Amino acid sequence: MTLRVAIAGASGYAGGEVARLLAGHPEFEVTTLTAHSLVGQSVEQVHPHLSSLHGQVFQPTTTDVLADHDVVVVALPHGDSGALGETLLAEGGQKVLIDLGADRRPTKILPFFVSIVGTRVILLRYAVGTPWVFTL
């Protein structure tokens, strides 16, 4: 099964890297790339290395454009990703939302409630990835 992916903020560095990684993966289809100031411009003009996305143009970053994808990756600047992420969680219809911004980083250490199912550990509500926290 191929998962349809939308990337908000795909014209930036992080969004372009996500597009590069997912465009080469057999289980993902990058169907929608959004931007702010580059709407209507060819993806290849901004990211020449993404020839596999030939013919795609940047679309506006709106909830209507991002709705109804299997996966939505939000690669917007810090401060912009939080509101869009909350709106998508409430009404976007996607199965998975990945937010690369810092808007959801905890300001203090919080207890995380986990559910252990077989060999998988599942964080309830959402998972926060913090690359600056290491456990041994």
Per-residue pLDDT of the chain (136 residues; tens, 9 = 90+): 889 999 999 999 999 999 999 998 999 999 999 999 999 999 999 999 998 998 999 999 999 999 889 999 999 988 888 888 888 888 867 788 888 887 766 555 555 544 444 444 444 455 555 554 444 4
Does residue 45 sit within a domain? yes
Does residue 25 sit within a domain? yes
Q: Strand, coil or helix: what is 120? A: strand
Alpha-carbon distances of 26 from 21, 23, 54, rounded to whole Å: 11, 8, 17
C-alpha–C-alpha distance, residues 46 and 119, integer Å: 42
Does residue 12 sit within a domain? yes
Does residue 116 sit within a domain? no
Alpha-carbon distances of 19 from 29, 32, 68, 81, 121, rounded to whole Å: 10, 10, 18, 17, 28
The C-alpha angle with vertex 65 and arms to 63 and 71, in degrees rounded to 5, equals: 80
Cα torsion 14, 20, 21, 26 to 10°: value is 150
Does residue 8 sit within a domain? yes
Does residue 74 sit within a domain? yes
Q: What is the token pair recorded at 112?
A: 């995380």
C-alpha–C-alpha distance, residues 18 and 25, integer Å: 11
C-alpha–C-alpha distance, residues 93 and 113, integer Å: 25
Provide the domain count of the chain: 1
CATH of the domain at 36: 3.40.50.720
What domain range is 94 assigned to?
3-104
